[in-house]
């Protein structure tokens, strides 16, 4: 089985999500849209592959907004087209933060500014805790998605929707993939200044991430398992995707 991992920049890493997908038998095919030297000028040319031939697509987070056409208008349309094609081909998508916003936009929803940013470990209100537990989940976003037509909102916070399901795909606003190493990169790239601007201590964010290390791993792995077993699995399938028990 092959999973297409869409990293939008060098700091977009699959982390705990990629770890569990590999344990579940997926070969990870990772692409990186914006190279490190263009991080501050992300308007690059990028040819997205077709999702045809993949068993799963995972668009990760991004420091940019889906609707920031001045910055990423050169490539975001190609990603939205890929996600629409995946939907048409019935290829499951697990969208994370920017990836969830892109999936929502591709399918007729939208992205808009949240009433306030969310940064740090936060719980969410979940209608489907067996699929999307309440958390805590790591958040870092200023935007929120508008759930696309026909999709089911599964979780939310006071700042907006946090998860939705559409067909065999799932979008989550939070970052289940986060690790201490990834957070350190984000802090060094500007998240420290953003956190301080909101009255947060970057060192406390790192300490909390370290404290939740094993709990976060278990929760992220459980999210992947529930997604594969409850959402991505075709209704009539009997062996298309290994179950968690198969993977050990």
Residues classed as catalytic: 97, 175, 177
**What's the length of the chain?**
248
Closest C-alpha among 150, 149, 141 to residue 173: 141
Q: By the 8 A CB rule, do 60 and 28 touch?
A: no
How many Cβ atoms from other residues are within 10 Å of residue 2's Cβ?
Answer: 12
CA distance 248 to 246: 6
Location of structure tokens 């992220």:
220
**Parallel/antiparallel/unpaired status of strands 125-126 and 2-7:** unpaired
Q: Which run of H or of E encompasses 102?
A: helix 98-106
DSSP state of 123: -
Kindly tell me the sign of the dihedral angle through the C-alpha atoms of 125, 131, 136, 141: negative
């Amino acid at each position: 089985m092959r999973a297409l991992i869409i990293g939008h920049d060098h700091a977009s890493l699959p982390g705990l999500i990629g770890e569990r997908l590999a344990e579940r038998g997926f070969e990870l095919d990772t692409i990186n849209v914006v190279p490190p030297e263009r991080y501050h000028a992300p308007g690059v040319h990028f040819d997205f592959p077709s999702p045809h031939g993949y068993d799963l697509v995972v668009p990760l987070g991004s420091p940019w907004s889906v609707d920031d056409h001045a910055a990423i208008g050169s490539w975001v349309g190609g990603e939205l087209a890929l996600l629409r094609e995946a939907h048409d081909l019935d290829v499951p998508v697990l969208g994370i933060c920017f990836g969830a916003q892109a999936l929502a936009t591709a399918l007729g929803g939208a992205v808009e500014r949240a009433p306030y940013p969310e940064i740090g470990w936060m719980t969410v209100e979940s209608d489907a805790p067996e699929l999307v537990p309440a958390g805590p989940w790591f958040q870092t976003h200023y935007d929120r998605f508008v759930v696309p037509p026909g999709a089911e909102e599964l979780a939310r916070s006071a700042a907006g929707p946090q998860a939705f399901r559409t067909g065999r795909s799932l979008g989550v606003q939070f970052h289940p993939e986060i690790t201490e190493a990834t957070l350190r990169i984000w802090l060094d790239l500007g998240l420290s200044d953003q956190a301080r601007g909101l009255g947060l201590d970057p060192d406390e964010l790192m300490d909390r991430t370290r404290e939740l290390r094993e709990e976060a791993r278990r929760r992220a792995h459980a999210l992947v398992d529930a997604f594969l077993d409850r959402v991505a699995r075709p209704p009539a399938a009997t062996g298309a995707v290994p179950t968690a028990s198969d993977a050990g």
